Chain A
Amino acid sequence: MPKIMSLDELKSLRDNVKNKVDLREKGENVDEMVVIRVAMATCGIASGARDIMNYFADLIREENVNNIVITQSGCMGYCYAEPTVEVTLPGEEPVVYGHVTKEKAKEILDKHIKSGEMVDGIIPVAHKSIDE
């Protein structure tokens, strides 16, 4: 580790390692966050859920959005529609999307999360959040 030689260098190191505690800081205030939950059971992973989750993470970092928590869940029971992604806006009911591709992920972020417009692909079932 080269020594930190200025406050600016310290700040850039901080920005680089910020994600280490980001999830925890956001988790402390999860009620005020947009939660993107990717189903990561065997069925999801086999259908490419891990790529989708990573893609979401990259997107968020690129676009510098700070109010989103990406996490994972177990199997949501929609194995036929994997990869599935649950999106919860603060104070709203969760919505589950099926067959999420990278394009769809981008659309969910741009439309659903940023402007509150629902996107095609919602699994239309009376849904129960995993927390309940």
Chain B
Amino acid sequence: MSELKITIDGKETMVAKGATILEAAKAVGVHIPTLCHLDLHDTKMVNQAASCRICVVEVDGRRNLAPACATPVTDGMVVNTRSVKVLNARKVVLELLLSDHPKDCLVCEKSGRCELQDVAVKFGVREIRIGKDGAQSTYPVDESKAIVRDMDKCIMCRRCETMCNKVQTVGALSGINRGFNAVVSTAFEADLLDSVCTHCGQCVAVCPTGALCEKEHAWDVVRHLADPDKVVVVQTAPAVRAALGEEFGMEAGTLVTGKMVAALRALGFNYVFDTDFAADVTIMEEGAELIDRLTRFQTGDTSVRLPILTSCCPAWVNFIESQFPDLLDIPSTARSPQQMFGAIAKNYFAEKYNIPREKMVVVSIMPCLAKKYEASRPEFNNDVDLSISTRELAHLIKRANIDFNNLPEEDFDNPLGESTGASVIFGTTGGVIEAATRTAYEILTGETLEKVDFEALRGFDGVRSATVKVGDMDLNIGIAHGLGNARELLEEIQNGNPRNFHAIEIMACPGGCIGGGGQPYHHGDSEILKKRQAAIYTEDRNKPIRKSHENPFVKELYANYFGKPMSHKAHDLLHTHYEAKDRV
């Protein structure tokens, strides 16, 4: 690798060929402000639109200013990142952005987390001289069940577009119109609900401003909690405990399970349960389905469809329904853990504790925005009433004056709070299939699995595959996270499944649920995702029980209520069906 010499603000350094001025500057401790730039190289998310022009710098011998984020270093380059010309240009560009940006920061969801606000604060802009009485971009606000688009706040950084098209290959968002009227929108400016949007929320995760936000329900939760007639039950997804701490200044990857439970109890939830419990149930159902298909396959049943695809990710379900309608018979019919939990709570638990269904409110805390959409799907009968994100939970805790960092650790309530290590790893890519393998192995072979860690299934690569020996059978497993990677595997299946996959796990978000659209904003730091993943595996290791079918409360649930996995009752409450969605 050839090295290039560059001088930045008088400091000399050597960088590898291909490095940008921005990267070189970082290496010498010069942090050039950026807005549109976002580089999550681990997940293919590299937005190099070079459109905001905030990062411009002066390069000797160049007529105009160069965008640091997209200008490759050349040997002997001399760069000034803070000349008067540069500072003035940045300020004028910032004024231009602010001149067409709403000034309602006080009530904006992104306030405090807004990258435009950060830059404005840094620059100390006190007056916007440009465009004082000028035109303002105005667009109707588009509220889906999961995402709110307020394009008045769009700064055309195009991160969402890169995410939606290049990483997720969904193609819901792209630049439309020209000049001052240019904006990112859906095809024919349709509402997100009528578009191919999967509600994965990754656009929200990368949007630097309040243009893309989540549909919030935190105040609705408060209203229910305050209602004495309501029994409010809460479930928390596995990835939430690995990220919530970040909202309270903790290091990424800090596990806050116990504090989270304590905070939820303090907020007044009547029962604090765990989605992980339902994840164990998911393994029972999905695992049974896998075993069923595999055994039929091995006995020569040609009608059986393999591979089986996991179905716990609602954005992924939306994706396959609108983009691969010809493959709708291969995903598992098992509902997602959120919906299984809702069904169990409002039927099994309600009956057992004698709570009338209309009095029960099921709230889910999810790292995910697609779960908000999923909860509203009519086939699920409002089993889950409200789904709020990790970020919203943090808001709720702060709102209620709870000193999160100093809370004692508490345990989930029973019977729906007990979970195994297998269910915890649902929160990361590779986790669901590892959990299923642990159970399938023991059931298929009748042996006890000594080493429950399937390292081959772990990692961060977008598409992974591994072959696991289950008795005398070679189980071929595929894993994809990020919908673009999912598309690769699905196209492979359409082309005849040449690698003979038996089971494939798919997660819509890069990293799996730990990188979900409802998680604390990572602002382009992909190390955060890796730390959350490590935390998940730690939680798994620390659990006394690490196989779903060994969860005593799950056993009790089957013994007393469902009978066995895939029973008639289980089908009614724990399974679903898919429909092709024709959208643009």
The reply to whether A and B meet directly (CB within 8 Å) is no
B interface with A by C-beta (< 8 Å): none
A interface with B by C-beta (< 8 Å): none
